[in-house]
Amino acid sequence: MEMNQYLSIFIDEANEHLQSLNENMLRLEQQPEDISIVQIIFRSAHTLKGMSASMGFEDLASLTHEMENVLDLVRNDKLKMNGHIFDTLFKCLDSLEGMVQDVVGGGTGSADVKELVSQLKQIVKGEPAAPASAGQAAIASGSSELAMVATHLLLDQYQLSVLRQSIENGSPAFHIEVTIREDCLLKGVRAYMVFDALERNGELVKSHPSVQDIEQEQFGHQFSVYYISRIPQQELQDTLDKISELESVSVVPLDLESLSELDESRSAEQQMQEAAQQAAATATATSPAAAAADKPASSEAPARAPAAAPVANKTIRVDIERLDSLMNLFSELLIDRVRLEQLASEVRRNDLTETVEHMARVSSDLQNIVLKLRMVPVDSVFNRFPRMVRDLAKSLGKKLDLVITGAETELDRTVIDEIGDPLVHLIRNSVDHGVETIEGRREAGKPETGVVNLRAFHSGNHVFIEIEDDGRGINQPKVLDIAVKKGIVSPDEAKKLSDDEINMLLFAPGFSTADKISDISGRGVGLDVVRSKIESLGGVVSVTSKAGQGSKWSIQLPLTLSIITAMLVKLGSEKFAIPLSSIVETGIVQRSAIRDLHGAKVIEYRKSIIPVLSLAAVLDSPDYSEENEQETEMLVIRKGEKLAAVLVDELIGQSEIVLKTLGKYLTNLDVISGATILGDGQVALIVDPNALIK
């Protein structure tokens, strides 16, 4: 059977479900009482099981099956989550992830899951495991109509009190039973119309089956709701009668009396259930109500749950190469647009000008969309960190909260792909070296639980990612000590370094300050790799720290790698682009202000002496030289702390340019970092300012 075409879909979806499992397990760990989270986890596990089984990955399927069994008990309140169960389930997720990775690598996705399966089975056995449905069904048979309703529409204490209060306040409460005609094709839609009408006129307290199941057409032809109405019974009945294809709508008013009956039947139900459990009632219930009771778990979910369920975005997956060629074609179009605009202004025909103007507007909208296509929220990188921090904290015996903000911040896809590893490294570093142990924190008078903040935000043309911990901060004397010992700086230099410069020593190759080497970080390789990775993305990394209060790692990244803002300059007949990010200032310098200092040309700039470079000389300009000019335009550029003045013929102005490579044939070009295509279709080269300052 040809499975390959499905395999990539399977892998993508499996990864998504694993991610969602991980996230929701973490959420559940925070709020173990929230059954709606268990529902989500259960659904993900269930889907994963189905997918794996249909693709023939038996081990994946059997492990998810056992997980499902445990989760089923939890969501039916038969089992309370505890640390042991969490740990086992997390181990299962790891194992699942390993198997999916194996499938990605072309393997069969098999792994030894026996131990985990038996652990899960023990968890299932460890609690009374009488099936709930049997107990409920047994009671349901032969009861009066209301009692039967009660069995599958059990209200919990909260819902009862909501109903009771509203009746006491004078708003009518109803039990509504809707039957949809058998021949109705889109019963989900009809049901939705009912809910829509109800929600407009009041408040749903409880529905059976759950709203979600109903919307997905997972119900027979009947459903019932408890409802607090803002309109009188007759009006409600009329509204619902207007919806076509409904067999019957019965609206039964509730009063305090019937509510207390419900309450009693609830406790009776509980007693019966307990009795049933003790007697280990058989699971095969054949009572008439069995059909209605087959989804008791769903009905346990409060009616509010659907609102909290995340709305899945409708997306398609596109090969990034296609996006690149779309970009290329689009920049072609831009060039033609500029040419058209030029022609239209020469021809001076109104209808032509109007058409060209309209095209210009459409194409600038198109430009925005095309550029946004490549942007991905950083969430896709951040989402694996909560789990990582949890595991790290557990293995180190620390208490830690990871607070993520700005996960919706968008970055170019190419940057996203590369930024993951550096971030992992920095976070591990913060968790391992930054945050103290529980005892350490107590001694320092801090709360036992450390906090690591992971923030992403936009600022100008950059995206900042910050990792801030409230740990012990950087031990500067120790950093200096090690730097001198390892020969990174000489003892004399060390004395002159500022605090920030000392911090930056951490990024020097071959540096490690950890007293003992742990398997998490501190192998001496790392921060220098982090820095070179980030710099290769056109970014900057820095760190600030306060002893005893924590440290903050800050990464500044360009919004996109494919488009930058640049200053266009002219040298005679040639045009060049210089990235705006490294330009400090532009100005005019008088020939007389340029002085010779030991054979090098310098000028005074804001009370300091900076070197002067002739761009024409660096680029061997064939038809321009500033030698015979009295005053020359200059750009002040910066590389780190160093400044330099670059002399040019003329400043054209700043512009957004699309970065292009020069191809593989021309490499090692030193001062030229790439090319771009200007509005007139000409290629302009991009000057690398970092190469100008030596």
Partner 1 sequence: MAEDFKVIVFTLAHEEYGIEVDKVRTIERMTPVTRVPKTPVFVKGVINLRGVVVPVIDLRSRFGLPESEPTENSRIIIVAANELEVGFIVDSANDVIDLNTDMVENPPEVVGGIKAKYLSGVAKFGENRLLILLNLSEVLNRSEIIQLEQFGA
Comparing CB distances to partner 1, the nearer of 86 and 330 is 330
Between the alpha carbon of residue 394 and those of residues 30, 45, 388, 430, 432, the distances in Å are 15, 25, 10, 15, 11
Q: Which is nearer to partner 1, 593 or 619 (CB)?
A: 619
315 Cβ partners below 8 Å, 6+ apart?
none
List 662, 688, 690, 693, residue binding partner 1 (CB under 8 A): 662
Q: Which of 574, 594, 638, 651 binds partner 1 (CB under 8 A)?
A: 574
Q: Does 661 bind partner 1 (CB under 8 A)?
A: yes
Q: Which of 147, 370, 540, 672 binds partner 1 (CB under 8 A)?
A: 672
Least distance to partner 1, CB of residue 338, Å: 13
Q: Decide: 575 and 652 in contact? Cβ < 8 Å.
A: yes
4 in active site: no
Helix (H, G, I), strand (E, B) or coil at 538: coil
The least CB distance from residue 559 to partner 1, in Å, is 21
| Cα–Cα distance, 578 to 583 (Å, whole number) | 8
**73, 675, 689, 692: which one contacts partner 1 (CB under 8 A)?**
675
What are the backbone angles phi and psi of residue 481, rounded to the nearest 5°?
A: -55, -50
Shortest Å, Cβ 685 to partner 1: 6
Measured from the CB atom, is 270 or 573 closer to partner 1? Answer: 573
Burial of 604 (0-12, 13-18, 19+ CB in 10 A): exposed
CB of 682 to partner 1, least distance (A): 6
Beta-bridge partners for 543: 553
The span from the CA of 124 to the CA of 74, in Å, is 10
Minimum CB–partner distance for residue 375 and partner 1 (Å): 21
Note whether 328 binds partner 1 by CB under 8 A.
Answer: yes
Chain centroid to CA 559: 17
Considering only the stretches 32-40, 241-249, 311-319, 323-331, report the one whose residues sit in contact with partner 1 under the rule CB under 8 A: 323-331
**Please, what is the minimum distance in Å from the beta carbon of residue 7 to partner 1?**
29
* Cβ at position 617, least distance to partner 1 in Å: 10
Looking at the Cβ atoms of 192 and 330, the one nearer to partner 1 is 330
What's at 631, amino acid-wise?
A: E
8 Å CB contact between 473 and 517: no
β-sheet bridge partners, residue 189? none
Is 331 an interacting residue with respect to partner 1 (CB under 8 A)?
yes
Closest CA to 228 of 206, 261, 250, 257: 206
Q: Contacts with partner 1: how many residues (CB under 8 A)?
A: 30
Contact call for residue 525 and partner 1 (CB under 8 A): no
CA angle 545/547/550 to nearest 5° reads 55
Active site residue 626: no
Pairwise CA distance, residues 183 & 221, whole Å: 10
- Give whichever of 609 and 617 is closer to partner 1, judged by the CB atom: 617
Q: Which is nearer to partner 1, 234 or 668 (CB)?
A: 668
For position 681 contacting partner 1 by CB under 8 A, the verdict is: yes
The CA-atom distances, in angstroms, between 399 and each of 278, 452, 466, 573 are 41, 11, 21, 64
Q: Is 65 in the site for partner 1 (CB under 8 A)?
A: no
- Name the one residue in this structure whose structure tokens are 């054209």: 652
Q: CA–CA separation, 618 vs 53, rounded Å?
A: 65
Closer Cβ to partner 1, 240 or 637, answer by number? 637
User: Active-site residue 82, yes or no?
Assistant: no
Show contacts with partner 1 in window 600-659 (CB under 8 A).
618-620, 622
DSSP letter (8 states) at residue 108:
-
**Nearest-angstrom CA–CA distance, 556 and 417:** 16
Binding pattern to partner 1, positions 372-391, x when CB under 8 A?
Answer: --------------------
Q: Closest distance between partner 1 and the C-beta of residue 667, in Å?
A: 8
- Residue of 13, 15, 29, 46 marked catalytic: 46
Q: Which one among 145, 332, 535, 585 touches partner 1, defined by CB under 8 A?
A: 332
Tokens of 254: 């509730």
Q: Report the candidate in 588, 662, 574, 661 with the shortest Cα–Cα distance to residue 618.
A: 574
Assess 366 for contact with partner 1 (CB under 8 A): no
Catalytic one among 68, 269, 410, 418? 68
Residue 321 is a binding residue for partner 1 (CB under 8 A): no
Q: What are phi and psi of 601, to 5 degrees?
A: -85, 135
Contact 454, 404 (CB under 8 A): yes
- Catalytic-labelled residue, pool 23, 429, 433, 436: 429
Contact residues: partner 1, CB under 8 A: 328-329, 331-332, 335, 574, 618-620, 622, 660-672, 675, 677, 681-685
Residues forming the active site: 46, 68, 429
